[in-house]
Amino acid sequence: MRNKQDNIEIRAPYLIFVGAESRPDMAKTGRGLVEWRPELCKGQLRLSNDAVDLGLPDLTLELARDIGIKSLVIGTASVGGAIPEEWYEVLLKAIRLGLDIVAGVHTRLCDTPFLREAAENSGVRLVDIRVPPSSIPVGSGRKRSGRRLLTVGTDCAIGKKYTALVLEREMKKNGMNVDFRASGQTGIMIAGQGIPIDAVVADFLSGAAELLSPDNAPDHWDIIEGQGGIFHPGFGAVSYGLLVGSQPDAFVVCHEPGREFISGWEGYRLPTVEQVIERTTAIGSLTNPNIRCVGVSLYTANLSAAQRREAQEDITRRTGLPCIDPLIDGVGRIIEQMNSEFPPVPDQSQVSKAV
């Protein structure tokens, strides 16, 4: 995980900054925080009535300060991860009012001179989430102890983080030894630690993935948040590096029925679930020859209940794997498949006593 000098600290409570973003899939950072850390999210700041509504009270910066909010968290992500020019006036005002600024975009707050100067004058912090640890090794490919599951996708913004979080939650309820490993800005904000894989220099991607899921107890599961998509024309490289470095025993494919093209790359058709299973298995077998798919997770918010059941039954028929919407069905069937494919490791202390 992060070295001491790379520790992240975000002062709560939060005001989630949506800007004028009207596309729900581009507000996934804000939505993720509201879903998984609702007690910390006290309001939203929108620059347009058409902007995504996260279901939080709409607040001005002045009111946010007056009610004790400590951090303005940028809750959107655009292709390329830049900060729009029209935001800087808002960020400067927030800084002058005493709010920390938290961002997971590629444009680093601390590298913007006028933001840095304003923060120093106001005594507030600029928190850049998308900054990897300062020293990452090249991947070794060495087999590590413990078990790992990676969520992969037919596209970006398709449920990889949510699936991983639900898996961790339900596995813990079942008494399993498990941790969520965050690889993206939203996951890191939720978990409080992690490595922003897409900000790592390419030669060190697999090494970063090895740091993210180190050696562990034989019965321990790391549930690793996936990034991008192995068929993605823009972000496939990060998916490859994360897959090889994670050396997962198991993976879950995340998919949205009805999505025809890779989002933002309309000339590229979405791969099928079967194609993703085949390619993930082929690439992943480089560092773990025993890799296998244990289920399919669907994003079905745009489907009726009948359409959802039909899609699930179709994919199960085609793949022979459990297919669920984690936010509706839970992930119990995928956990059952995991336990079937990878039986629980006996407690060695009890085995010794029995002998």
- Asked whether residue 209 falls in the same domain as residue 313, the answer is yes
Same structural domain, 118 and 241: no
Look at residue 191 and tell me whether its pLDDT is greater than 90. no
The per-residue pLDDT for range 269-314, each reduced to its tens digit, is: 999 999 999 999 999 999 999 999 999 999 999 999 999 999 999 9
Kindly state whether residue 289 falls inside one of the protein's structural domains: yes
Among candidate residues 96, 128, 160, the one where a domain is terminated: 128
In this predicted model, what pLDDT tens digit does every residue of 219-235 receive, in sequence order?
A: 999 999 999 999 999 99
CA of 318: how far to CAs of 274, 275, 312, 323, in Å? 8, 12, 10, 11
**Residue 187 and residue 328 share a domain:** yes
Residue 78 lies in a domain: yes
| CATH number of the domain encompassing residue 317 | 3.40.50.300
Percent of the chain with pLDDT over 90: 76
Amino acid at 241: G
At residue 2, the pLDDT reads 38
Q: Which residues contact 156 (CB under 8 A, 6 or more apart)?
A: 228, 229, 232, 235, 262, 263
Pair (273, 309) in one structural domain: yes
> Contact at 8 Å (CB) between 54 and 15?
no
Residue 106 falls inside a structural domain: yes
* Residues spanned by the domain of 228: 147-341
Residues 8 and 121 in one domain: yes
Number of domains observed in the structure of the chain: 2
In a domain, 140, yes or no: no
Q: Is residue 123 part of a domain?
A: yes
Residues 250, 209, single domain; the answer is yes
Residues 93 and 183 both lie in one domain: no
| Interior angle at CA 227, CA 221 and CA 229, nearest 5 | 115
Residue type for position 231: F
Which CATH number is 102's domain given? 3.40.50.720
- Please tell me whether residues 203 and 272 are part of one structural domain: yes
Query: Could you tell me if 171 and 291 lie in one domain?
Result: yes
Residue from 277, 151, 137 nearest 210 by CA:
137
Q: What is the model's pLDDT at position 351?
A: 42
**pLDDT at position 81:** 61
Give how far Cα 43 sits from Cα of 38, 76, 227, Å: 10, 15, 28
pLDDT over 80 at 77, yes or no = no
User: 219 and 267 in one domain?
Assistant: yes
Mean pLDDT of 244-249: 98
Let me know whether 268 and 202 are in one domain: yes
Burial of 143: CB neighbours in 10 Å, binned 0-12, 13-18, 19+: exposed
Query: Could you tell me the pTM of the whole model?
Result: 0.81
In this model, does residue 71 exceed pLDDT 90? yes
pLDDT tops 80 at residue 80: no
Considering only CA atoms, which of 185, 15, 169 is closest in space to residue 94?
A: 15
